[in-house]
């Protein structure tokens, strides 16, 4: 079959990209781990391996976080794993010799990250090159539930006071 350049030039682009998670708190699932792109595997400026972790909510909206897999930056991944529901057993991981670098193996990362549920706070920031990126902070499930309860309480109070 031949590629139809004329049809492609008239098509709206971007259909393969998911809608962004809006700023705020969200219950999400890790739905993907990307190890590289067109330029090869992801690496930090110091040469440490990196992975891109994809988070999705129930509406298939996404945000992503780059994670450096080094001893120095391992706290980012540790905090993420501790925030999962259920949380990863960090003591057992240490005893088993699992290090941040273990997640550089695509099969290991997929097996141990994809499918995990957690709550995150998403902020969108602009990089030096003008592109926006998500800044993700894992949130304790109790903090998420408290924020949700407060929001629902506020909405209930507002509707009770409305004269119509």
Look at residue 5 and tell me if it is in a domain.
Answer: no
Look at residue 36 and tell me if it is in a domain.
Answer: yes
Q: Which 3 state secondary structure label does DSSP give 137?
A: strand
- Nearest-angstrom CA–CA distance, 49 and 101: 7
Whether the pLDDT of residue 9 is over 60: the answer is: no
Those residues with Cβ within 8 angstroms of residue 147's Cβ, 6 or more apart along the chain or in another chain: 25
Backbone angles phi, psi at 36, to 5 degrees: -175, 180
**Which range marks the domain in which residue 100 is found?**
19-152
Look at residue 140 and tell me if it is in a domain.
Answer: yes
Look at residue 161 and tell me if it is in a domain.
Answer: no
CB atoms within 10 A of CB 120: 23
Number of folded domains in the chain?
A: 1
Look at residue 37 and tell me if it is in a domain.
Answer: yes
User: What is the average pLDDT across 31-36?
Assistant: 96
Q: Of 50, 54, 42, nearest to 17 (Cα)?
A: 54
Q: What is the pLDDT of residues 104-158, one digit of tens each?
A: 999 999 999 999 999 999 999 998 888 888 999 999 876 656 665 666 666 655 5
Look at residue 3 and tell me if it is in a domain.
Answer: no
- Nearest-angstrom CA–CA distance, 14 and 16: 5
User: Which pLDDT belongs to residue 72?
Assistant: 94
State which H helix or E strand residue 117 sits in.
strand 117-126
Bigger pLDDT: 67 or 156? 67
Look at residue 84 and tell me if it is in a domain.
Answer: yes
Q: What is the pTM of this model?
A: 0.78
Look at residue 82 and tell me if it is in a domain.
Answer: yes
């Amino acid at each position: 079959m031949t590629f139809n350049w004329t049809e492609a030039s008239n098509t709206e682009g971007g259909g393969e990209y998911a809608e962004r998670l809006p700023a705020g708190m969200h219950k999400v699932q890790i739905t993907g781990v990307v190890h590289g792109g067109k330029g090869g595997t992801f690496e930090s400026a110091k040469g440490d391996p990196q992975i891109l972790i994809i988070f999705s909510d129930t509406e298939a909206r996404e945000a992503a976080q780059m994670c450096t897999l080094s001893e120095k930056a391992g706290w980012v991944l540790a905090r993420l794993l501790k925030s999962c529901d259920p949380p990863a057993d960090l003591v057992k991981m240490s005893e088993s010799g699992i290090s941040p670098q273990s997640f550089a193996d695509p099969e290991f990362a997929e097996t141990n990250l994809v499918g995990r549920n957690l709550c995150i706070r998403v902020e969108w920031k602009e990089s030096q090159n003008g592109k926006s990126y998500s800044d993700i902070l894992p949130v304790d499930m109790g903090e998420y539930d408290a924020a949700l309860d407060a929001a629902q309480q506020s909405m209930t109070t507002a509707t009770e006071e409305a004269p119509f």
